[in-house]
Amino acid sequence: MYPSLHFMKLYKICYTFAQRLEKGLLAALADKIPCMSLDAFQQIQHLLEEIEQAQPQGAEEVEQFRLRFLGTKNILKPLMGEIRNVPNEQKREFGQLINTAKERAELKYEVLRRDQEAAAESAQAAHIDLTAPGEPLDLGSRHPVAITLNRIVSIFERIGFVVAEEREIEDDWHNFTAMNTPEDHPARDMQDTYYMRNSAEILLRTHTSSVQARVMTSQKPPIRIIAPGRVYRNETISARSHCQFHQVEGLYIDKGVSFADMKQTLYYFAREMYGPDTRIRLRPSFFPFTEPSAEMDVSCFICNSKGCNVCKYSGWVEILGCGMVDPQVLLNCGIDPEVYSGFAFGMGIERQAMMLYTITDIRLLFENDTRFLKQFGAAL
């Protein structure tokens, strides 16, 4: 960085003033001070001349200049001891003269230091090869949850599903009541969540089924959507569960939709997601918003159904829940269940990602550890 013009002008002004001051002080004091202190004044005069004439070359000589005049054991310090030999009425002028020498040394050193920095920068710039390629930038990687989500969305978009997104802060009706889970329903115990302060009606959604409720109350069938997004549960964080995660839920409502339509849709998804040799099975289950309901398993693609830690040596891995939309849910959202029917399904994206990439701890997906995330750089 080159010394600024303002700094150089200031230095010259201070330099001229110091010269006049030191000459005036020496002339005024020459006839008034005792002979025993004349040597001290002469030493100061010699040091001022040395500071003025000093032309150190290189960083080492500049550092020697600093140590001589500004270091902890600088040459000006012993002269301060001579102040006791100066008459009381001249002590002030004597101290001012020493301070002038110190200030002159500081200004000179600052100019020398700046000149050295400017010279170093100029030398460095002279050796820059402007034709050389720039340094490569480290590219980031997509998050495994984002990779898995995009893959799921892409599969369902190929068969006519469209993405629907909604708010994460929901009201109780869209999150629970519309989904056939009234306030006193025991299924609410499985989906304890976080509520807004001083409100039992506003909460963080526990599933993206609330998106289904909003779509059904604002659109007329046929409806064919998938609803991805972040959801929240008041759960203890462990290797298999977290207080936040991501879901993809699907909904298809139209005239004459059957359980067979749902099975074939999910079978298509499983083969596209996990490979063409994937098999599925549906096990009876219960969800308050579907009837009948089922859990869907896929044949373990890691061990080829022979048994491993992932499938718990059963040969099957549970991936989602599904079922036919309960007629009461259709009524709650203003759709006539005598005319329309439909199916719904939902899955956790983290679970899919953990199976695809053999991740054993869900917490790794939320810790932002770059050592872990860099493993997915090839997915770009």
Q: Please enumerate in sequence order all residues whose Cβ is within 8 A of that of 29, keeping only pairs 6 or more positions apart, or say none.
A: 41, 90, 93, 94
Domains located in the chain, CATH noted: 5-123 (no CATH), 144-379 (3.30.930.10)
CA distance 125 to 119: 10
Answer yes or no: is pLDDT of 180 > 70. yes
Round to whole Å and give the CA distance between 187 and 201: 17
Query: Quick one: pLDDT band at residue 19, thresholds 50, 70, 90?
Result: low
Residue 204 near residue 232 (C-beta atoms within 8 A) = yes
Q: What per-residue confidence (pLDDT) applies to 379?
A: 64
Residue 109 φ then ψ, to 5°:
-65, -40
What pLDDT band is residue 305 in, cutting at 50, 70 and 90? confident
Tell me how far apart the terminal alpha carbons of the chain are, to the nearest angstrom.
41
Q: Which helix (H) or strand (E) holds 121?
A: helix 91-126
- Quote the pTM value: 0.62
| The pLDDT of residue 20 is above 90 | no
Task: Note the pLDDT tens digit of each residue in 138-175.
Answer: 777 888 999 999 999 999 999 999 999 999 999 989 98
